[in-house]
Structure 1
Amino acid sequence: MSGLRLELPYEFHRDDYEQILHDVRHLIAPELGWKPGAGAE
């Protein structure tokens, strides 16, 4: 099993964190072969 670790600076605003996490989930992770499990949005 492999994993992906994100390290983000504490200085970001909440909106910035949400955008980054959204982009990782919807754009980057699928390109790396990740697929959402059952019950994922």
Structure 2
Amino acid sequence: MVAAVSEPRLELPYEFRVDDYEQTLHDVRHLIAPELGRWPDTALVPGAGR
């Protein structure tokens, strides 16, 4: 249950290629996390929040 956890965990297979990891992490950060009420940390993005 997503609402019952404070930090969701994402497990990815070792067999992924680098571009598969990048695409999956991008999609989770920008598409899935916001739908769960979690937003990317803009402090980690240069120039964000200015």
Q: What's the TM-score bracket when you normalise by the shorter of the two chains?
A: 0.7 to 0.9
Structure number with larger C-alpha Rg: 2
Aligned to 1:23: 27
| TM-score relative to the length of structure 1 | 0.83
Residue 14 (1) aligns with residue 15 (2): no
Task: Identify the structure with the greater helix proportion.
Answer: 2
* Structure 2 gap ranges (5+): 46-50
Aligned CA-pair RMSD: 1.6
How far, CA to CA, are the matches of 1:37 and 1:16 in structure 2?
22
Q: Which has the higher contact order (CA 8 A, sep 6+)?
A: 2
